[in-house]
C-alpha cells in the first residue's frame, strides 16, 4: 500500500494548499489586536460564511475516512447520525441561539455558574476540554492513517508536522481566520469527495449498475436493524445517539456556540445552522455511497483486498511468522480493515496530480475541525478557568497573549492524543464512544438548567453525581470478569450519552419536585 514518495506535482499541490492556509493566518493576524477580535471576530461574519464554516467543522476527517470505512465494512448505518441532525437543529434555532445571543457571553459555560454555581461551570469546561482532546486526537490519527499510505512516512512524524502547521495559523489568525479558511476547506473537501466517487465509478467494471447490484446482493445499503434493539448499532441506537450528540454540538459545544457570537445578527446565526444541515446531510450520504462503491470495486478485485488484510494482520501481530500473519489475515472481516480502504484506493488508482487534490481535501477536513477546536478550547480555558480562578483583571494585551499560549498548549495535547490513538481499529468508533462519555454529563446539566427553572444547586449536584456514576458504569462494566457478567451494561456504547443525559435531567427534575412537594406539605401542615 505504501509509496516511497508522491510525484512532484502532487507534492506541489499539497504545498500550495498548506502555504495558502498559513498565509490566511498571517493576513488575519493584522486584525487580531484584542481578545474580542480573536474569539468573536467582532461580530462581523456573514451568515452564509458561518454556515459553511460549521458544515466544514462537522465534515472532519472522521467523516472523510471513517464513514466510507464503516459503509465498506457494514452498511449505511452511520448515515442515521445525519438523519437526526435536523431535529437537533430545530431546537438550536428555536432555543439555543436566542439564549446565547441574549447572554452575550463568549463562553458557552459561564451561565452555568449563574444558574448552579462555580462547580457547574468548571465541570462543563472539563467535559468540553476532554471531548475536544478526543476529537482532535481521532482526527490527527485519521490524517496520519491516509498520509502514511501515500508517503511512507511514520504516523508520528505526520501528526507532529500537521500539528505544527495548524497551531501556527490558528494562533496567528484567531476565529476569523478559522472561519474563512473553513469556507475554503468546506468547498475543497466537498469537491474532493465528488472526485473520489467519480474515479471509483470510472474504474469500476459495469459502472453504477454493477455497484448497485453488488450492494443489494450483500445488503450494503441498509440503515441498520429497525428492531427496537438497544444492544447493537441498530437504526434507533444511532438515531438517539445522533440526536443527543447533535443537541450537544449545537447547544453546549463551544466550537458552535462561539460562532453564534461572530454572526452580524441572531437571524444570520440561525440561518447558518440550517445551511449547515442542508449541506451536511446529503454530503454525509455521499460518503456512504463512496464506501459502498469501494466495497463493490474491491469485491471485483479480491487480490487488492488480500494485500490490505496482510497489512492489517502484520500491524496487529508484529514480529510473528508469515504463516501466523496469513492465518490471521484470512479471519479478518471487512469491518476490520474498512479505514484502510480509502488510502489504498488513493495509492493505487488516483492519477498523479489528482492525488494532491485529494490529500488537500483530507487535510482540509482535518484542519478545519482541529483549528476550530483549538480556538474554542483556548477561549474556555482563558475565560472559564484562568480568568475565573487566577487573574480576572487581565488587560487586553495579556488576555490575547494568554489565548495564544492556551491555543499552543491545546494543540500540543491534541497531537499527543493523536499519537496515543495509533493502532485503533476504527477511528469513527473511537470518536463516537469518547464523545458520548464526555458529552453526556455536560448536556444533561445544560438541559436541567434551561428547562427545569426550579432546580437549584443541591439538586443539580445530586443529579450530576448519580449521572456520572451511571456513565462510568455503562462505560467500564464491560471490562468486568465473566463471573460478574450480570453486572455488565448490556446496552450499546453509543447509548452512554443518551442514558447519561436523561439520568441527570430526570433525577434533577424528580428531586426538585419531591423537595418542593415536601416543602409545600410542611408549610400547609404548619
**Tens-digit pLDDT profile for residues 348-371:** 777 777 777 777 777 776 777 788
| Digit-coded pLDDT (tens) for 102-153 | 887 778 888 888 888 888 888 888 888 888 887 888 788 877 877 776 667 7
Please state the CATH superfamily assignment of the domain spanning residues 8-525 in this structure. Answer: Sodium/glucose cotransporter (1.20.1730.10)
Strand partners, 263: 45
pLDDT at 398: 84
pLDDT at 431: 53
pLDDT at 208: 93
Judged against a pLDDT cut of 70, whether residue 416 lies above it is answered with yes
Judged against a pLDDT cut of 90, whether residue 221 lies above it is answered with yes
Q: How far apart are CA 499 and CA 360, in angstroms?
A: 39
Judged against a pLDDT cut of 50, whether residue 451 lies above it is answered with yes
pLDDT at 327: 83
Give the relative orientation of helices 457-476 and 427-451 as an angle to the nearest 10 degrees: 160
Q: Predicted confidence band at 171 (pLDDT cuts at 50, 70, 90)?
A: confident
Q: What percent of the chain has pLDDT over 70?
A: 91
**Cβ-proximal residues to 392 (8 Å cutoff; 6+ apart), any chain:** none
Strand partners, 45: 263
Task: Let me know: does 442 contact 380? Beta carbons within 8 Å.
Answer: no
Q: How far apart are CA 403 and CA 388, in angstroms?
A: 14
| Digit-coded pLDDT (tens) for 228-254 | 889 888 999 999 999 998 988 888 888
Q: Predicted confidence band at 294 (pLDDT cuts at 50, 70, 90)?
A: very high
Rg for the chain (alpha carbons), in Å? 24
396-421 burial string, b = 16+ CB within 10 Å, else e? Answer: eeebbebbbebbbebbebbbbbbbeb
pLDDT at 3: 43
pLDDT at 2: 41
Q: How far apart are CA 367 and CA 162, in angstroms?
A: 8
Angle at 187 between CA 186 and CA 192, to 5 degrees: 100
Length of the chain: 526
Q: Predicted confidence band at 189 (pLDDT cuts at 50, 70, 90)?
A: confident
Task: Let me know: does 515 contact 454? Beta carbons within 8 Å.
Answer: no
What is the mean pLDDT of the segment spanning 308-313?
A: 80
CA nearest neighbour of 77 among 245, 287, 248: 287
**Cβ-proximal residues to 158 (8 Å cutoff; 6+ apart), any chain:** 143, 144, 147, 148, 151
Range scoring the smallest mean pLDDT among 58-67, 73-82, 109-118: 58-67
Q: Pick the residue with more confidence: 335 or 316?
A: 335
| Digit-coded pLDDT (tens) for 379-401 | 888 888 888 888 888 787 888 88
Judged against a pLDDT cut of 80, whether residue 55 lies above it is answered with yes
Average pLDDT for the chain: 83
Give this prediction's pTM: 0.82
Residue reference for cell 406539605: 521
**Of the ranges 9-18, 322-331, 422-431, 500-509, the best mean pLDDT one:** 500-509
Angle at 191 between CA 190 and CA 197, to 5 degrees: 95
Q: What percent of the chain has pLDDT over 90?
A: 19
Amino acid at each position: 500500500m505504501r509509496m516511497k514518495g508522491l510525484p512532484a506535482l502532487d507534492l506541489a499541490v499539497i504545498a500550495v494548499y498548506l502555504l495558502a492556509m498559513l498565509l490566511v493566518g498571517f493576513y488575519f493576524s493584522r486584525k487580531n489586536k484584542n481578545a474580542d477580535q480573536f474569539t468573536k471576530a467582532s461580530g462581523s461574519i456573514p451568515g452564509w460564511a458561518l454556515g459553511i464554516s460549521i458544515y466544514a467543522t462537522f465534515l472532519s476527517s472522521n467523516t472523510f475516512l471513517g464513514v466510507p470505512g464503516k459503509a465498506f465494512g457494514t452498511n449505511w448505518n452511520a448515515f442515521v447520525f445525519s438523519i437526526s441532525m435536523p431535529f437537533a437543529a430545530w431546537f438550536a434555532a428555536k432555543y439555543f441561539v436566542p439564549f446565547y445571543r441574549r447572554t452575550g457571553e463568549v463562553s458557552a459555560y459561564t451561565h452555568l455558574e449563574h444558574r448552579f454555581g462555580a462547580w457547574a461551570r468548571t465541570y462543563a469546561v472539563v467535559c468540553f476540554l476532554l471531548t475536544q482532546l478526543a476529537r482532535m486526537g481521532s482526527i490527527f490519527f485519521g490524517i496520519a492513517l491516509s498520509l502514511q499510505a501515500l508517503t511512507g512516512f511514520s504516523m508520528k512524524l505526520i501528526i507532529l508536522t500537521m500539528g505544527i502547521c495548524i497551531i501556527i495559523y490558528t494562533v496567528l489568525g484567531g476565529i476569523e481566520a478559522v472561519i474563512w479558511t473553513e469556507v475554503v476547506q468546506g468547498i475543497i473537501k466537498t469537491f474532493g469527495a465528488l472526485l473520489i466517487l467519480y474515479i471509483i465509478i470510472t474504474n469500476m467494471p459495469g459502472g453504477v449498475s454493477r455497484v448497485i447490484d453488488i450492494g443489494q446482493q450483500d445488503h450494503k445499503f441498509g440503515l441498520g436493524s429497525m428492531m427496537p434493539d438497544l444492544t447493537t448499532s441498530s437504526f434507533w441506537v444511532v438515531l438517539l445517539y445522533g440526536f443527543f450528540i447533535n443537541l450537544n454540538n449545537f447547544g453546549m459545544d463551544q466550537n458552535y456556540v462561539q460562532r453564534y457570537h461572530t454572526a452580524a445578527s441572531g437571524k444570520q446565526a440561525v440561518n447558518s445552522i440550517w445551511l449547515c444541515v442542508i449541506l451536511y446531510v446529503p454530503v454525509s450520504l455521499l460518503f456512504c455511497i463512496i464506501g459502498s462503491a469501494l466495497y463493490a470495486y474491491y469485491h471485483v478485485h479480491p487480490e487488492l483486498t488480500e494485500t490490505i488484510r496482510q497489512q492489517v494482520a502484520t500491524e496487529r501481530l508484529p514480529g510473528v511468522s508469515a504463516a501466523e500473519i496469513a492465518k490471521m489475515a484470512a479471519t479478518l472481516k471487512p469491518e476490520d480493515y474498512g479505514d484502510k480502504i480509502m488510502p489504498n484506493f488513493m495509492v493505487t488508482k488516483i492519477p498523479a496530480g489528482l492525488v494532491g487534490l485529494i490529500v488537500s481535501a483530507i487535510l482540509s477536513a482535518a484542519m478545519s475541525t482541529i483549528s476550530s477546536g483549538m480556538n474554542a478550547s483556548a477561549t474556555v480555558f482563558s475565560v472559564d478557568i484562568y480568568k475565573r480562578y487566577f487573574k480576572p483583571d487581565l488587560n487586553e494585551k495579556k488576555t490575547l497573549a494568554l489565548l495564544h499560549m492556551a491555543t499552543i498548549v491545546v494543540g500540543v495535547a491534541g497531537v499527543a492524543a493523536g499519537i496515543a490513538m495509533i493502532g485503533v481499529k476504527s477511528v469513527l468508533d473511537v470518536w463516537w464512544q469518547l464523545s458520548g462519555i464526555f458529552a453526556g454529563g455536560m448536556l444533561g446539566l445544560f438541559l436541567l438548567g434551561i428547562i427545569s427553572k426550579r432546580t437549584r444547586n443541591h439538586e443539580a449536584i445530586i443529579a450530576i453525581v448519580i449521572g456520572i456514576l451511571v456513565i462510568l458504569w455503562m462505560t467500564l462494566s464491560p471490562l468486568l470478569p465473566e463471573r460478574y457478567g450480570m453486572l455488565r451494561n448490556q446496552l450499546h456504547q453509543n447509548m452512554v450519552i443518551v442514558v447519561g443525559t436523561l439520568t441527570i435531567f430526570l433525577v434533577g427534575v424528580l428531586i426538585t419536585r419531591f423537595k418542593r412537594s415536601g416543602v409545600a406539605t410542611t408549610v400547609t401542615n404548619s
